[in-house]
Structure formats: C-alpha cells, structure tokens
Amino acid sequence: MTETHSNAYASVVGALTASEAQDFERHLIECSACAEEVMDARAIASALSTTVAVNPPARLRGSVLASIAHTPQEQIATVTALPRSETVAADRSSRRNRATSLLAAAAVVAAVGFGGWAVQLGQDASDSQQAADVALSQRAKLASLLTAADVQTAKLASLLTAADVQTAKLASLLTAADVQTVSGRFISSDDSGAVVMSEERQMAVLVATGLPKLPEGKVYEAWTVKGDPAPAGIFTSDDSDAVVELSDAAFDADSIAVTIEPAGGSPKPTGDAVFDVSLPPA
C-alpha cells in the first residue's frame, strides 16, 4: 500500500493537507479501488454532520434565496455523441462506442485536471476550493467510467493528466458551447478517431485510439484539406492513443486527413490517407 493509497479515509474526513489532497486526487484518477472506497466513506463522513445539526438563523434562508435568484447556473458540457454515419457498418458499433467513451473520459479527465490546477493557484481562494469540490464529483464519475471502460480509456486518462496545460486547454475546448465532434475510422485497422473543434475557443484536436505502432523512422502526419492538403501536426503511436492539436486551418478545411510520413513529417502527403473525415460546412 503506497503512502498516497493509504490516504483514502483521511481524505474523506478532511485530514489531508492541501498538497496531500492534491496528490491523492491525482491518485484517484488511476485507482478505482480508492475511488470506490472514498465514495462509500463519504456517505459516512456526511452522516457525522447529523450529530451537530443546528438550525441556521432564519435570515440566512432569505439571503440564500435572494442570492440564487440572480446567480446563473452553469450549463454543463455535454460530450457530443458521435454522429451516426451511414457509411459505418453495424459491426463497427463497438469502435464507435469506444471513441464516444474515450471522449467522455477526456471530458471528465479534463474537468478533474482543471480542479487540481485551480487548487494550485491559491489555497486560500474559495473559488479554488469550489473547483476542487467539483473535481470530487467529476472524479467519482471518472472512476466508474474507468472501471467500466477499456484500457485505452485509462491510457488516455494518464496521457491527459500528465500535462496540466494540455488538460486545461482540453477542458476549455470540451466545455465550449459550440464544440463539434466528427468521427471517423482509420483504414485497415481497429482504430477510431474523431476531430473535436470549437471556433469560439479557436481550438481543434484530433483524438485517435488504438493506433498501430509505426516502423522506426515513420510518423503520423495530420493534414487540413481545402484544395491542397496543408500540414496540421505530427504525432507518433507510442501509446497507441493520441490527442493532437490541429492548426487553425482546420476551421476552414473541408476535411482532416492523416497519412504516414518519414520522421520529421513532409510538406506534402507522400502516401494514401489512413484517416479522412469531412468537416461540416462552417
């Protein structure tokens, strides 16, 4: 049992320092056993509050209700279900599901990362505390998602949490009001991919799962296609999953394609596309 692992119950009764709590939150993303334990124990900790119940002063009720009357409610990002394409045969539905759950995981991980990130900003700021509270519920969701989902999802989770900056950016993308998702499939393999974009946030990413490992000296290269393809980013298949930020040209492009190129990438595609999705007209 690691030091962090043994902190599950202490976290529930609030006995961790801010930095211990932060470490533990990261740990929870990967440890479904702890996540479950915490969820269970939290109900017990919550019950402890009934032993010290005190009626609040009557004025507080009025004050709370007056405040909420002009407090807008956060509209939660819904992860767009991948559109059903007629060209996708029924036997590929499992892949589609995987891509969907992957994106859902990305959204949740992004939210979790966001919480941890906000906590770092200031331990005294109540807003950051709130972000941590939110991360708590998101984390629980992630835990159940991860235990249900496949290894790919878990890998993406660790991929995303590894880089806070990227996570924060993804969070912002996935919560954009105009976020759009277009799914596609890699040719002659088991892979699925999706392009997620938001003009409002000026961000477009390609999410790919189950990529085959490329031979030494080869990379995947993404292209924005409008007339001639333009380079949009290079990635490798080390972890079989990839989240690639695409160039701004993605917003004007008719489609996004991926080819296999020599290391370092090419200015023009040299092979056939292994992935190609048409983007809806702007």
Q: For binding to another protein (CB under 8 A), which residues are involved?
A: 6-10, 12-18, 20, 39-58, 60-61, 63-65, 67-69, 71-76, 123-124, 126, 129-130, 132-134, 136-138, 140-141, 144
Query: Which residue, 65 or 282, is less far from another protein as judged by CB?
Result: 65
Residues 5, 24: Cα–Cα separation, whole Å: 8
DSSP annotation string for 93-134: HHHHHHHHHHHHHHHHHHHHHHHHHHHHH-SS-HHHHHHHHH
Query: Which residue, 144 or 247, is less far from another protein as judged by CB?
Result: 144
Query: Which residue, 46 or 189, is less far from another protein as judged by CB?
Result: 46
Query: Which residue, 98 or 139, is less far from another protein as judged by CB?
Result: 139
Phi, psi of 206 (to 5 degrees): -105, 125
Cβ at position 8, least distance to another protein in Å: 8
Cβ neighbours of residue 7 closer than 8 Å, sequence gap 6 or more: 16, 20, 23, 24, 27
SS3 state of residue 123: coil
Q: Are the C-beta atoms of 116 and 136 separated by less than 8 Å?
A: no
The pair of structure tokens assigned to 217 is 């000296």
CA atoms within 13 A on the CB side of 282: 12
Rg, C-alpha atoms of the chain: 22
Phi, psi of 13 (to 5 degrees): -90, 10
Q: How many CB atoms lie within 10 A of CB 204?
A: 27
Query: Which residue, 9 or 251, is less far from another protein as judged by CB?
Result: 9
SS3 state of residue 82: coil
Query: Which residue, 40 or 254, is less far from another protein as judged by CB?
Result: 40
Cβ at position 18, least distance to another protein in Å: 8
Cβ at position 56, least distance to another protein in Å: 4
Query: Which residue, 63 or 189, is less far from another protein as judged by CB?
Result: 63
Cβ at position 175, least distance to another protein in Å: 12
Cβ at position 79, least distance to another protein in Å: 14
164 CB burial (10 A radius; 0-12, 13-18, 19+)? middle
Cβ at position 51, least distance to another protein in Å: 5
Q: Are the C-beta atoms of 128 and 122 separated by less than 8 Å?
A: yes
Cβ neighbours of residue 95 closer than 8 Å, sequence gap 6 or more: 185, 190, 191, 192
Cβ at position 162, least distance to another protein in Å: 25
